[in-house]
Amino acid sequence: MINPWSSAQYFDYEKLIKEFGIQKPNNYFNFFMFRRHLVFGERGLEYIEYAVKNKIKFNAMTGLMPSGQMHLGNKLSIDQIIYFQSLGADVYIAVADLESYATRGISLEKAHETAVNEYIANYISMGLKPCKIYFQSENFDTENLSYILSNETNMNELKAIYGLTDSSSMLHVNSPLIQAADVLHTQLNHLGGPRATIVPVGVDQDPHIRLMRDLAKRFRIYNVKIEDGKISVYIKGSDDPKNKIDMAIKLLSGHGYECNANYEYRAIYVKNSSPEDKIKIDIDLAVEESKINDFAFIEPSATFQKLETGLKGGKMSSSVPDSLISLNDSESEATRKIKHAVTGGKQTVEEQKKYGGNPDICPVYELYKYHNSDDKYVQRVYDECKGGVRMCGSCKTEAAENISAMLKMLGEKKDESLGKLDNYLIKRSS
Ligand code: SF4
């Protein structure tokens, strides 16, 4: 079981793919995190591919916990968000100020200050364009929606997904529903209606992703399925389905599909369809459905990224300050941490020259691999290490120079970024 509240790391990515039904991404997205398999898994990513190919609006969503400092490890989700924004996504970012208040005792004022100074200013300096960033404590849409979503799940389901017991905190009941509402509210009609929505996460968040995808489906009237190589659409409910069936057939016929209706089975069979039509039909029907259903959600998609190893090996953790580089570290502080990092190198220079190092277990190599988009350069570092022509001392110096240059850029842009906040922070919803 994957537990989003545990500090466990999930490094056996192949096993995760096999046991939890996570898919491996195809080669469509030409971004270094995909090319290098740092994004190792996905759910429903074909919806985003379809939206990009067909120039249909889609959303990208992430959240931040306003505690501590932003570090290199939690920069990776934003790297993806900025990439998806460059492909046309409307971006939403939730600041989990209520959660940090409830679980860590951080006041809402302090959470606001931390979110802006430690996270959002860096996001803007990294290249995030204007988007919608909100504080959970101020967003009544998500609050109301989480209440409505709660009517479509029960304790048995939450126990099965999260391993909750009778003594589990009710926060672990509320929190998944709030997170589902954070993602799904971006598809409410007054915010643009049903859209494919991408959520880049670490794999520890997969239980939340599975729940929100299931909840999205449960609110739909039109359920699109592939049966015997063709598309069928089932109409949820126990009312007379005639109007809903006729409405869907009118839409599908307008797109050139030939449909047979079975009113008794509440079903439409799309005769001249193929499995490849599922996404198009699902999105088109969701948009049509939103005229009669306030919650015609399209199942959110997710990408799962690998976790960057801490500089001391193991997890990057704020409880081990030298295991991570904060984006607000000074250049000298970052350099010091990198110089003291563990490596995949051999004990002596002679052995390193003779046998080569092991970049595959080296956190210094990960600084190149996770934070430099130049494939040729990163491959050269890998080959030189393996070939014994790269020594750990100079390799660390080079990595420290690269990271310092990035920190310097972020520092220099910070005031300018803070001056642009009005284009990002959205006001309390009513
Ligand atoms: S040479 Fe660089 S990449 Fe190779 S083991 Fe040493 S520090 Fe790591």
pLDDT value at 54 more than 60: yes
The CATH 3.30.70 domain(s) of the chain lie at: 222-289
Q: In this structure, which topology does domain 222-289 adopt according to CATH?
A: Alpha-Beta Plaits (3.30.70)
pTM over 0.85, yes/no: yes
In the reported structure, the alpha carbon of residue 355 is separated from the centroid of ligand 1 by a whole-number distance in angstroms of: 12
The CATH 1.10.240.10 domain(s) of the chain lie at: 321-418
In the reported structure, the alpha carbon of residue 345 is separated from the centroid of ligand 1 by a whole-number distance in angstroms of: 5
Residue 296 · residue 290 · CB < 8 Å: yes
pLDDT value at 317 more than 50: yes
The CATH 3.40.50.620 domain(s) of the chain lie at: 13-219+297-307
pLDDT value at 301 more than 50: yes
Q: Find the mean pLDDT for residues 130-154.
A: 95
* Closest atom of ligand 1 relative to the 381 alpha carbon: 3
C-beta 395 within 6 A of ligand 1: yes
pLDDT value at 2 more than 70: no
**In this predicted structure, what is the pLDDT of residue 11?**
65
321-418 — its CATH code? Answer: 1.10.240.10
More confidently predicted of 328 and 402: 402
Q: Find the mean pLDDT for residues 52-58.
A: 97
C-beta 164 within 6 A of ligand 1: no
C-beta 344 within 6 A of ligand 1: yes
Q: Find the mean pLDDT for residues 168-176.
A: 89
C-beta 362 within 6 A of ligand 1: yes
C-beta 390 within 6 A of ligand 1: yes
C-beta 359 within 6 A of ligand 1: yes
Residues in the chain: 430
**In this predicted structure, what is the pLDDT of residue 289?**
97
**In this predicted structure, what is the pLDDT of residue 428?**
59
- Going by alpha carbons, the residue nearest to atom 1 of ligand 1 is 392
* Closest atom of ligand 1 relative to the 386 alpha carbon: 4
Mode of pairing for the β-strands spanning 222-227 and 230-235: antiparallel
Mean pLDDT, all residues of the chain: 93
C-beta 357 within 6 A of ligand 1: yes
In the reported structure, the alpha carbon of residue 325 is separated from the centroid of ligand 1 by a whole-number distance in angstroms of: 18
C-beta 365 within 6 A of ligand 1: yes
In the reported structure, the alpha carbon of residue 334 is separated from the centroid of ligand 1 by a whole-number distance in angstroms of: 17
Q: How confident is the model at residue 430 (pLDDT cuts 50, 70, 90)?
A: very low
**In this predicted structure, what is the pLDDT of residue 69?**
85
* Closest atom of ligand 1 relative to the 341 alpha carbon: 7
Q: For residue 411, give Cα distances in angstroms to 80, 126, 232, 397, 418.
A: 21, 11, 55, 20, 11
C-beta 346 within 6 A of ligand 1: no
In the reported structure, the alpha carbon of residue 381 is separated from the centroid of ligand 1 by a whole-number distance in angstroms of: 8
Q: What is the pLDDT of residues 233-250, one digit of tens each?
A: 999 998 999 999 999 999
- Going by alpha carbons, the residue nearest to atom 4 of ligand 1 is 385
Q: What is the pLDDT of residues 194-243, one digit of tens each?
A: 999 999 998 888 999 999 999 999 999 999 999 999 999 999 998 999 99
- Going by alpha carbons, the residue nearest to atom 6 of ligand 1 is 392
Q: In this structure, which topology does domain 13-219+297-307 adopt according to CATH?
A: Rossmann fold (3.40.50)
Count Cβ atoms below 10 Å from residue 402 Cβ, excluding itself. 16
pLDDT value at 413 more than 50: yes
Q: Find the mean pLDDT for residues 371-384.
A: 97
Mutate to test the pocket of ligand 1, among 337, 360, 364 (most ligand atoms within 8 A of CB): 364
**In this predicted structure, what is the pLDDT of residue 169?**
87
Q: How confident is the model at residue 7 (pLDDT cuts 50, 70, 90)?
A: low
- Going by alpha carbons, the residue nearest to atom 7 of ligand 1 is 392
